[in-house]
């Protein structure tokens, strides 16, 4: 049994070059990610945070519940989407998720002054939108790539970076002219129409996996590494989980509040929107670059560098004399830091725990990072409401970056080999 594409089994080919239908699958995944949950909703949440708070006469912490609960929904929705996709296929899961995501973003355009409405809408946006994140689109690529999988993942993730750069700028312009309600309606339409185009591109070119359960079970038995339960019993798993939770919390929290921080400094809405877009540009560059670097440099050293850059970004925000250039530099550093984190999680999961339970282990670590991202906007909002300034939370974030940069070095060397199923070795501890 093998995967068929164009009459030729992928499983029997000697290469998986970026040609033909494979190229279009990557392009479709990149487009889908560009108009999915991350760029269309989370990347623009900071642009709408201040005007929504003013419109409803709420605190920023109140409005920050929207992205926080959306990220919580994504953390829950991602493993659910994977579980369902194993049974009915990614085409239906992504298609249904895309439609529901668009509808609930549209619902924000008609939001009443109700915290319950905002809370429910945010959670469902994240729950449905999980299928439009990397957990959905990038889960398709391993079906058609092996030797070139890293390159395919990096190029696919360009969609997140490009969308994360463009959408905040578009949101800032739309919101400034038409208001946040019309802006959400426009984004809902874009997510639906362009998402449908991406869906068509991917699944018109995707090979069909006709391998039976017996062949899949045989493949699984040959894999080496830790089981999920064994991984949970290691300090490495929990160290990675805690570090990624904290880094996601402070950097994504800082990102969501970057626009209101800039306008508080009197830098103007256009500068604030551009800064949010620069975060996306930094994310795009680091996602592609980190994939190539990780093949050549020890992963904890890559993490050390990325997190120190994040600390520098926060220090700039504390010390900047209302300078647009320094704000954009800080935004770039934060984008590079969070983009590298996104590559580190699956890479370290594979290197430290092997392939046997890679999906479950990566999913749990992804969930930890997502929960951190969910908490970040609320933590920042509460800190601002308490101190009437972002300086204390920026200082704390810089310290956390440094601590995490040093802590990740404690992971140590990669295991030289992994036990197979039934072995009693615990060499990954």
Residue 149 is predicted with a pLDDT of 61
Residue 251 is predicted with a pLDDT of 92
Q: Is the pLDDT of residue 311 over 80?
A: yes
CB proximity list for 155: less than 8 A, separation 6 or greater = 18, 26, 30, 288
Q: What domains are defined for the chain?
A: 14-210 (1.20.1250.20), 215-429 (1.20.1250.20)
pLDDT band at 19 (very low <50, low <70, confident <90, very high): low
For 256, the enclosing helix (H) or strand (E) is: helix 235-256
Sheet bearing 3-5, strands edge to edge? 8-9, 3-5, 208-209
Q: Which two tokens stand for residue 39?
A: 């760029």
Of 201, 191, 184, 83, the closest CA to residue 136 belongs to: 83
Residue 14 is predicted with a pLDDT of 37
Residue 150 is predicted with a pLDDT of 64
What pLDDT digit, counting tens, does each position of 146-198 carry?
556 667 777 888 888 788 888 988 998 998 889 999 999 999 999 999 999 99
* β strands within 332-380, DSSP E: none
Highest-scoring range by mean pLDDT, 107-116, 282-291, 357-366: 107-116
Residue 3 is predicted with a pLDDT of 37
Q: Is the pLDDT of residue 359 over 70?
A: no
More confidently predicted of 379 and 321: 379
- With H, G, I as helix, E, B as strand and everything else as coil, classify residue 18: coil
Residue 428 is predicted with a pLDDT of 41
Residue 200 is predicted with a pLDDT of 94
Residue 207 is predicted with a pLDDT of 67
Least confident of 62-76, 232-246, 360-374, 395-409: 360-374
- Decide the pairing of beta strands 208-209 and 3-5: antiparallel
Mean pLDDT confidence for 73-96? 82
User: Which CB contacts under 8 angstroms, 24+ apart, belong to 216-221?
Assistant: 220/356, 221/421
More confidently predicted of 315 and 15: 315
Residue 13 is predicted with a pLDDT of 39
């Amino acid at each position: 049994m093998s995967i068929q594409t164009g009459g030729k089994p992928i499983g029997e080919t000697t290469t998986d070059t970026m040609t033909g239908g494979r190229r279009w699958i990557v392009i479709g995944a990149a487009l889908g990610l560009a108009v999915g949950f991350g760029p269309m909703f989370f990347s623009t949440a900071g642009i709408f945070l201040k005007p929504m708070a003013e419109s409803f006469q709420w605190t920023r912490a109140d409005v920050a519940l929207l992205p926080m609960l959306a990220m919580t929904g994504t953390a829950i929705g991602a493993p659910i989407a994977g579980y369902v996709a194993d049974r009915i296929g990614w085409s239906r899961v992504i298609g249904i998720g895309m439609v529901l995501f668009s509808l609930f973003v549209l619902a924000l355009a008609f939001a009443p002054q109700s915290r319950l409405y905002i809370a429910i809408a945010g959670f469902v946006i994240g729950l449905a939108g999980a299928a439009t994140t990397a957990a959905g689109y990038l889960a398709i690529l391993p079906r058609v790539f092996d030797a070139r999988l890293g390159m395919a993942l990096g190029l696919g993730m360009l969609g997140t970076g490009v969308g994360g750069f463009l959408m905040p700028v578009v949101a800032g312009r739309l919101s400034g002219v038409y208001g946040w309600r019309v802006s959400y309606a426009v984004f809902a339409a874009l997510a639906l129409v362009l998402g449908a185009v991406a869906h068509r591109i991917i699944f018109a070119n995707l090979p069909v996996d006709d391998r039976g359960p017996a062949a899949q079970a045989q493949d699984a038995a040959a894999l080496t590494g830790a089981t999920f339960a064994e991984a949970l019993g290691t300090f490495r798993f929990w160290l990675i989980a805690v570090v990624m939770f904290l880094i996601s919390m402070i950097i994504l929290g800082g990102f969501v509040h970057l626009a209101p921080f800039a306008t508080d400094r009197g830098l103007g809405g256009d500068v604030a929107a551009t800064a949010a877009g620069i975060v996306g540009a930094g994310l795009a560059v680091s996602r592609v670059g980190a994939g190539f670097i990780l093949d050549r440099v020890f992963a904890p050293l890559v993490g050390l560098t990325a997190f120190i850059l994040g600390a520098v970004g926060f220090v700039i925000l504390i010390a900047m004399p209302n300078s647009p250039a320094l704000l954009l530099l800080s935004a770039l550093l934060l984008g590079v830091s969070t983009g590298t984190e996104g590559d580190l999680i699956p890479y370290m999961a594979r290197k430290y725990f092997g392939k046997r339970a890679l999906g479950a282990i990566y999913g749990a670590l992804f969930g930890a990072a997502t929960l951190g991202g969910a908490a970040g906007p609320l933590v920042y909002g509460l800190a601002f409401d308490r101190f009437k300034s972002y300086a204390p939370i920026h200082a704390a974030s810089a310290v956390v970056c440094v601590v995490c940069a040093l802590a990740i070095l404690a992971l140590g060397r990669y295991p030289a080999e992994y036990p197979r199923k039934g072995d009693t070795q615990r060499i990954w501890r």
